[in-house]
């Protein structure tokens, strides 16, 4: 089974170890993140680097979604 988010911003498929899961609940539209023990087993420098990378990608996704939101709700 393939994950829904298998391609990065550059369009390339990224392979590696899954270190966590982003969760979504309805109808509350709440989110949560669960990090795996494999993430916690990494050194602090690696964890900080990974978190910075993921936060940056999430910020790009948020910014793109904000543009979609403005188009949809400011007609």
pLDDT exceeds cutoff 80 at 8: no
The pLDDT value recorded for residue 16 is 76
Residues 18-70: tens digit of each pLDDT = 888 889 999 999 999 999 999 999 999 999 999 999 999 899 989 999 999 99
The pLDDT value recorded for residue 74 is 87
The pLDDT value recorded for residue 42 is 96
Rounded Cα gap, residues 39 and 44, in angstroms: 10
Threshold 0.85, pTM exceeds: no
* Spans of all domains in the chain: 20-73
């Amino acid at each position: 089974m393939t994950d829904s988010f298998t391609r990065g911003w550059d369009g390339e498929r990224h392979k590696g170890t899954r270190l966590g899961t982003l969760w979504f609940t309805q109808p509350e539209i709440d989110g949560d993140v669960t990090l795996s023990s494999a993430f916690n087993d990494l050194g602090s420098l690696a964890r900080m680097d990974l978190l910075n990378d993921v936060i940056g990608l999430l910020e790009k996704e948020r910014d793109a979604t904000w543009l979609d939101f403005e188009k949809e709700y400011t007609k």
